[in-house]
Structure 1
């Protein structure tokens, strides 16, 4: 089943998506409510909604499928790391520590945008990039889960585009803290949240989902990969996120960017040049993941803000003057 959230007449409404359109759920119900109620109850509610009339998708604005309490983004594709280190980092290939455990950072849950929303260029950035990912949505609270337990905590999956200001990211990572402002301007989720049972037929013998992933800019394909090229399956990402702490229903965990052109920075690192060029206002980025759907966002001009003031020279006194 595919759950969606859309805006109509200035209000958000949860729905189930079908070939006929969006079938609204009872007024006041959110997708996060359904996730917290559990997958069986959510499927029952969705089945009931499907018996009702449908709203054409093109007549409404799709919002992110859910208001995520937290968003973690992993870096689970070795090929992506290899290319990006040469572009954004200091070169030298994939560090040995990458292989030891899945690494993630927390990104901004307040910056989630819908499947067809415009995306402004972050203030001060001249190197805007996309990142093609799939995100898993946690369906049940848990702590210090094993991978086997974590499999039972999966509610579903959605497409994630981790918009990245590479010039801001480069500066931040020189300080060995981040990324932060390089990543928190926008994250696309959508077009809907596909429940785990829909994608189980794709699962391979090693527990991965070999879904075809593609991204194009202005109609020209830039990248293609299989989701099964992750270094760890999703249940291991959930287990690691819960290690010594909690994950809760509705938490979103991104796979990290796929390889083979899943972002521009990977290609810049491999080619030694900003080719293809950074995203500019007017560019349209389209991502399609097999079994999930398509998101399409247009880049627009961002805010023109004053430059950030640099730090003052370090003060020397250790005591206040009396």
Structure 2
């Protein structure tokens, strides 16, 4: 099934995509609530047999399938992405041994979720605004200290994840040395749908999802890659993030960026300030993938920066 959250003039609603229609459930039903109650399969049957409303996709505004997830973690499971970023920054492309010991991840901002067709303003004060092509797994069954061989059984489905990033803010975050801060908190796209694992089973090869995804800015395709090239699998990532910590239904866990899936990796000079290809107001950014659909968003101007202190 392809689960969506949508708006058609009467507040947020939840339903399933069925071709060119949305089959909606009763007002007050949310995807997060269905996941928490373990009631997704039954609700999907209800939506197919006896929906509360049936609307054309042109008559609804699709929101993020989980507009307010209980938590978000973003992994880094494609190590070639990290090597590409090091190369762009003029650094040694060899990686610290820690990257082969466990997948890296950080906690992201669950209040920054935007829908698959929402406009996205540049982060305030940024002149180096970037996209990141990712896929997120959504937890359906909670757990703790998961076995990496079985952890994927806790995933209910997948959705696109665009981790919009202010690279200039990121350089400052890295200088402070306490993790991702203002570089990562302005927007995260989820959508257009939460695609359940059974829908994507035809793409499974040797224990991995082997479907292609791509990112474009305007008419230019930035990259195309496959989830089959993940250095760390979703099962390994979920096992690691659940080590000594609870994963709850509705938690979102990002894959990290598909190699080449951000503008930073396409910088062709060590002088980052000389790169002129950062996102600009009016740019249209799209993520596409077999089974997952497409996001399409327009970049808008940043809001003015309010100084923290006089003269600063």
Q: Indicate whether 1:119 and 2:117 are aligned.
A: no
The alpha-carbon distance between structure 1 residues 287 and 181, as it changes in their structure 2 partners (threshold 3 A), is same
Which residue does the alignment assign to 1:62?
A: 62
Which residue does the alignment assign to 1:267?
A: 266
Bigger shift: 193-202 or 53-62? 53-62
Counterparts of 1:209-228 in structure 2 under 5 Å? 209-228=209-228
CA distance in 1, matches of 2:311, 2:82: 31
**Secondary structure at 1:9 match in 2:** coil
Q: Is the 8 A contact 1:133 1:255 kept in 2?
A: yes
Which residue does the alignment assign to 1:239?
A: 239
CA distance in 2, matches of 1:98, 1:133: 19
Residue 238 of structure 1 and its aligned partner are, at CA, apart by: 0.8
Which residue does the alignment assign to 2:277?
A: 277
Residue 310 of structure 1 and its aligned partner are, at CA, apart by: 9.8
The alpha-carbon distance between structure 1 residues 56 and 126, as it changes in their structure 2 partners (threshold 3 A), is same
Bigger shift: 211-220 or 92-101? 92-101
After superposition, what is the alpha-carbon deviation per residue over 1:175-220, rounded to whole angstroms, capped at 9, x for unaligned? 2222111000000000000011111221111x11111011111121
Which residue does the alignment assign to 2:42?
A: 44
Which residue does the alignment assign to 1:318?
A: none
Residue 232 of structure 1 and its aligned partner are, at CA, apart by: 1.4
CA distance in 2, matches of 1:223, 1:217: 10
Bigger shift: 92-101 or 137-146? 92-101
The alpha-carbon distance between structure 1 residues 309 and 172, as it changes in their structure 2 partners (threshold 3 A), is farther
**Secondary structure at 2:282 match in 1:** coil
CA distance in 1, matches of 2:223, 2:184: 20
The TM-score, its normalising length taken from structure 2, stands at: 0.93
Q: Is the 8 A contact 2:6 2:60 kept in 1?
A: yes
Bigger shift: 249-258 or 269-278? 269-278
Q: Is the 8 A contact 1:135 1:255 kept in 2?
A: yes
The alpha-carbon distance between structure 1 residues 47 and 20, as it changes in their structure 2 partners (threshold 3 A), is farther
The TM-score, its normalising length taken from structure 1, stands at: 0.90
After superposition, what is the alpha-carbon deviation per residue over 1:232-261, rounded to whole angstroms, capped at 9, x for unaligned? 1111111111001111000000000001x2
Residue 18 of structure 1 and its aligned partner are, at CA, apart by: 1.3
The alpha-carbon distance between structure 1 residues 276 and 229, as it changes in their structure 2 partners (threshold 3 A), is farther
Q: How many residues align?
A: 308
Q: Is the 8 A contact 1:267 1:275 kept in 2?
A: no
The alpha-carbon distance between structure 1 residues 100 and 7, as it changes in their structure 2 partners (threshold 3 A), is same
The alpha-carbon distance between structure 1 residues 269 and 106, as it changes in their structure 2 partners (threshold 3 A), is farther
Q: Which has the larger radius of gyration?
A: 1
Q: Is the 8 A contact 1:89 1:170 kept in 2?
A: no
Which residue does the alignment assign to 1:140?
A: 141
Bigger shift: 177-186 or 43-52? 43-52
Counterparts of 1:38-187 in structure 2 under 5 Å? 38=38, 41-51=39-49, 52=51, 53-66=53-66, 67-87=68-88, 90-187=91-188
What stretches of structure 1 of length at least 5 have no aligned partner?
Answer: 313-322
RMSD between superposed Cα atoms in Å: 2.1
Counterparts of 1:2-21 in structure 2 under 5 Å? 2-9=2-9, 11-21=11-21
Residue 8 of structure 1 and its aligned partner are, at CA, apart by: 2.4
CA distance in 1, matches of 2:142, 2:122: 35
